[in-house]
Amino acid sequence: MAANHPPLIRNVLSIAGSDPSGGAGIQVDLKAFSARGVYGMAAITALTAQNTQGVSGVQVVPADFVAQQIKAVFADVRVDAVKIGMIANGEIAQAVADVLAAHKGIPMVLDPVMIAKGGASLLDTCAISVMIHHLMPLATLVTPNLPEAAALLGQAEAQDRVTMQAQAEKLLTLGAQAVLLKGGHLPGDDSPDVLVSTTGTRWFEGRRINTANTHGTGCSLSSALAAELAKGLSLQNAVATARTWLRGAVSSADRLMVGSGHGPVHHFHALWGSV
């Protein structure tokens, strides 16, 4: 009788910036990977000085060293999915695109991090063109929020579902296989997301969760999505699974006492029990 082997643990690489307070960026990506049962790796694009109240400084990593980090991982480790977060500037965006172009068969989730929770700009404006023309065509899924979608398209921020879906469809024409446009900034009590791909459109519904502790939700969702795609889930199932997990993390966020501003979500809400 053949031995029963445990399922293969997938390896997921995050390419993003660092948050010393642990609420966003690389630190959150690794937490989300662990919470979703995959092995996490990280290539750092920028160091930030930030906490739950905002970003006070950014130190960008040289583009060639960002590329060197990514190449080192691929040279030694099986990479089952990639999450791309903060890319800081056009040189880094181009370097990341150049390296990843050789690995097009791997699921890639692009979270176009452009604006911090406190309103600080995290993306050099000259990088937007590189992101659109070189990173988006590599992406399995792009996960902008409404302000990011508006900035990418040069349009006003969507205030209703009709405009939101139209913008998601417009973003799809930029080359990604699918777009998950997040509706957390819509007015009202609902917080729906819309998934648009070449095979159709699906809305994912959800009521707004009453908490100020939402720091890093975008990073967390995109990382969870990369983890689920690495495990072989379909795009729709990956979105459904990642959203359910994130909603649990946001619902449990007030159990944490981190900082006096927008605190982090509770990534390990399903694992820590009553701790």
- Indicate which residues carry an active-site annotation: 182, 214, 216-219
pLDDT digits (tens, 9 = 90+) for 25-52: 999 999 999 999 999 999 999 999 999 8
Q: What is the pTM of this model?
A: 0.93
Confidence of residue 94 (pLDDT cuts 50, 70, 90): very high
Confidence of residue 122 (pLDDT cuts 50, 70, 90): low
The answer to whether the beta carbons of residues 259 and 51 sit under 8 Å apart is: yes
pLDDT of 2 reads: 52
For residue 98, pLDDT beyond 70: yes
Give me the helices (H) in the chain, please. Answer: 25-35, 63-76, 90-100, 127-130, 146-153, 161-172, 217-230, 235-251
The answer to whether the beta carbons of residues 270 and 244 sit under 8 Å apart is: no
pLDDT of 197 reads: 95
Mean pLDDT of the chain: 91
Confidence of residue 54 (pLDDT cuts 50, 70, 90): confident
Of residues 65 and 122, the one with the higher pLDDT is: 65
Confidence of residue 261 (pLDDT cuts 50, 70, 90): confident
pLDDT of 103 reads: 96
Q: How far apart are CA 12 and CA 26, in angstroms?
A: 12
pLDDT of 245 reads: 93
